Structure 1
Amino acid sequence: MPPPTGLSFRDLRSFLAVVEEGTFTDAAIRLGTTQASVSRHIGALERELGVRLLQRGGRVVTLTTTGRAVLRHARAIREEVEALRRVAADEDREIRVGYAWAALGAHTATVQREWARRHPGTELIFVNSTSRLAGLTEGLADVGVVRREPRTAGIGSALLGHEDRVAALPAQHPLARRRGLRMADFVGETLALDIQTGTTTAELWTPQQAPAAYREVHGTDEWLTVIAAGQALGLSSRATSAQYSRVGIVFRPVRDAPRLPVWLVWWREDPPWFVDELVALIRAEYGRPG
C-alpha cells in the first residue's frame, strides 16, 4: 500500500481534541467549530490512513488499538508544529547580528536603539563568533559584521563604512606616552596577530620596515591578554577600542594606517527581509561626523 499523501493537520487536530475532550461535542467547543465539522475531519483522517481510530459507541469516544498508536505520533506532530510556529514568531522578534571582534564599535548601541524605535518588539541581538563570516556559516547569526572583504561563493555583502586604526599598547610601554603613532613605530616590536578573524596582516608593512616578530593569537580575549602582559603590541580597528577596555592597555591612533572597511554579509540566496533597511541605518551612523 502506498504511503498516505493527503494528511491534514486540521484532521489531526480534530482527532486529538476528541481524544482529549472525550466527546465530539466537547471537541467542537474547544476548537470553536461544529460537531459535524469535527466528525468530517475524523472521517477524512481514517480514510486517509485506511484504519478505524475511534470507537463511537456510547456517549464517550474511545480509542481503537491502532488509534492509541496513532495518538502518540499525532501528539509528536503537534509538538513539532507548535515548535515551528514559535521559531517563525521569534524570527520577527529577534535579529541576530554576528561579529568576530567589535560589532559596530561606538555605533552598536545607537543602531540597536534606533532599530527598536522603528520596529517595536523586534531586537537587534549582537552575537560573538570566532569564524571568518561572523557566525553565518554555523547558523548563529542572520547577518554578520566582518572587516575582511568577503570573497566566499554564495555570500551577499554591503560595504557599511570605514574605520580608523588604533594601536593597542601595554600601559608601561614607551610608545604609550605618545598621543599618536605611525606605522613605522612598530618596527622592531612583536605584534599580536589573529590570522583567523583579525584585521591586521604582515602585508601592511614593507619587508624593510616591519615588526621584528609576530605572535599568533586566537580571538579578542587572547589578543588583549597578550598585550596587557607586555608580550606584544596590537593594531586593530577603532571599534575595538570603543568596545573593549582592559587594565594595563592603552589605545592610540595610528595616523598613517590605511582605514579599515566594514561589511555586512548574508546568504545571497536567502537574503533576510531587513537587510536593505539595516544597511542604510548603519551606513548613516558611519557617515555621521566624529
Structure 2
Amino acid sequence: MTVELRHLRCFLAIAEEANITRAAAVLHVGQPALSRTLRQLEEHLGVRLVDRSTHHLRLTEAGHAFRTRAAAAVAAVDDALDPARVGTWPLRLGHAWAALGDRTTTLLRRWRETHPDTPLELLRITDPTSGLAAGKTDVAVVRGRTDGPGAPLTTEPRLAAVPTGGDLAERSTLELADLVDQVVTLNPPTGTTTMALWPAAARPSRTLVVANTDDWLAAIAAGRGVGVTTTAVAGIHAYPGVTYVPLTDAPPVPVHLVWTDPPRHPAIPALLALAREVLAG
C-alpha cells in the first residue's frame, strides 16, 4: 500500500480531536472510512498509533512520536503548494515570546537589507519549540535547555516583574527571597521560570498559572502576582502597571537559535551569523 497525504491528515485529525467521530466530522468523511484509513497507515508502519481499547481514545508512544513527524510533513507540503509563496522561499523564524527583545526590529531590518530575495517571517507560536516540531517554522529562538541542532546566541539576565506602585517596585534590585511570600505567576507552556529557581527550603507556596505572555503581563499589572522573566521581555513588552526590577541572585537564561536535522532552509546559517552580529552590537 502507498501512503498518501490523506493518511497523515486523517491521523492528525484523530490525534487532535481524540475521537474518531469528531475527526471524521472535521474531515467531512464517514467514520468507517476514517477508521479504515488509520488502519492502513498502522499496517504500513507496522505499529499501533492509536489505542482504541479504552473508553477514551489516546495515542500510543509510537503515535506521539509519529505525530510530530506527520505534522512536519503535512506542513511542508502545504507550504510548498501555497500559491502565495510561489517564486519566493521565506525563512520562518519562530519564537514563543520576546524574540530577540529590543534587538528584534534591528534584526528584521538588517535582514531585509542584506537578503531582499528571502523574506524573514517572524511568527509567535506558543509551544516549547515555537512551531519547529510541528513544521510551522524553519528556525526558532528558544530559551532555556534545548535538544537537537542549534547554536547559542546569548544569555539574558533575569528580572522580577512586579505591580507598579507596590513596595517591590520601589526597590532598585531584588533577590529571589524577596518573592517567596508573593504569588508567583507562571507560564508553563514556554516560560523559563519554575519553582526549581528557588532553593528547596525557601520556595514560594502560592502560584498563578497562565497560558501565555499576554495573560502573564495582565495578571501582574492587575496585582494578582509577580513574575520572573528576562531583559528581553522588558525590552519589547513595556506594559502599563508592570515594573521590571533586576534580580541579583538569579542565574541568566541561555538563548539559542535551533533548527531541524536536516535544516529546512538554506539561509539558516546566514540568519545565525546576523543574529549574533546584531546581539553583539
Q: CA deviation at 1:208?
A: 2.1
Question: Distance in 2 between the 1:83 and 1:140 partners?
Answer: 14
Question: Distance in 2 between the 1:136 and 1:264 partners?
Answer: 11
Of 88, 91, 95 in structure 2, the residue corresponding to residue 90 of structure 1 is 88
Query: In 2 relative to 1, CA 172–83 (structure 1 residues): closer, same or farther, beyond 3 Å?
Result: same
Question: Distance in 2 between the 1:215 and 1:84 partners?
Answer: 41
Q: Which residue is 1:27 aligned to?
A: none
Question: Distance in 2 between the 1:189 and 1:86 partners?
Answer: 49
In the alignment, structure 1 residue 184 sits paired with structure 2 residue 177? yes
Question: Distance in 2 between the 1:256 and 1:219 partners?
Answer: 25
**Superposition pairs of residues 76-225 of structure 1, within 5 angstroms:** 83=81, 87-91=85-89, 94-151=90-147, 155-225=148-218
State the one-letter code of the partner of 2:96.
A
Q: SS of 2:88's equivalent? A: helix
Q: CA deviation at 1:123?
A: 2.8
State the one-letter code of the partner of 2:98.
A
Of 269, 284, 288 in structure 1, the residue corresponding to residue 277 of structure 2 is 284
Identical positions, percent? 36
Q: CA deviation at 1:271?
A: 4.1
Question: Distance in 2 between the 1:97 and 1:170 partners?
Answer: 32
Question: Distance in 1 between the 2:276 and 2:174 partners?
Answer: 28
- The farther-off stretch of 239-248 and 227-236 is 239-248
Larger radius of gyration: 1
State the one-letter code of the partner of 2:85.
V
RMSD: 2.0
- 1:199-227 Cα distance to aligned partner (Å, 9 max, x none): 11111111222223121111101111111
**Superposition pairs of residues 41-52 of structure 1, within 5 angstroms:** none
- 1:135-170 Cα distance to aligned partner (Å, 9 max, x none): 11233221111102222xxx4211111111111111
Question: Distance in 2 between the 1:253 and 1:263 partners?
Answer: 22
The aligned length equals 203
State the one-letter code of the partner of 2:125.
S
Question: Distance in 1 between the 2:260 and 2:248 partners?
Answer: 35
- Determine if contact 1:96/1:143 at 8 Å carries over to the other structure: yes
- Determine if contact 1:159/1:264 at 8 Å carries over to the other structure: yes
Q: Which residue is 1:229 aligned to?
A: 222
Scaled by the length of structure 1, what TM-score is found? 0.65
- Determine if contact 1:105/1:239 at 8 Å carries over to the other structure: yes
- 1:13-65 Cα distance to aligned partner (Å, 9 max, x none): xxxxxxxxxxxxxxxxxxxxxxxxxxxxxxxxxxxxxxxxxxxxxxxxxxxxx
Q: SS of 2:203's equivalent? A: coil
Consecutive unaligned residues of structure 1, counting only runs of 5 or more, are 1-79
Question: Distance in 2 between the 1:84 and 1:113 partners?
Answer: 25
- 1:162-214 Cα distance to aligned partner (Å, 9 max, x none): 11111111112210001221222112111111111001111111122222312
Query: In 2 relative to 1, CA 202–83 (structure 1 residues): closer, same or farther, beyond 3 Å?
Result: closer
Question: Distance in 1 between the 2:175 and 2:232 partners?
Answer: 18
- Determine if contact 2:88/2:117 at 8 Å carries over to the other structure: no
State the one-letter code of the partner of 1:118.
T
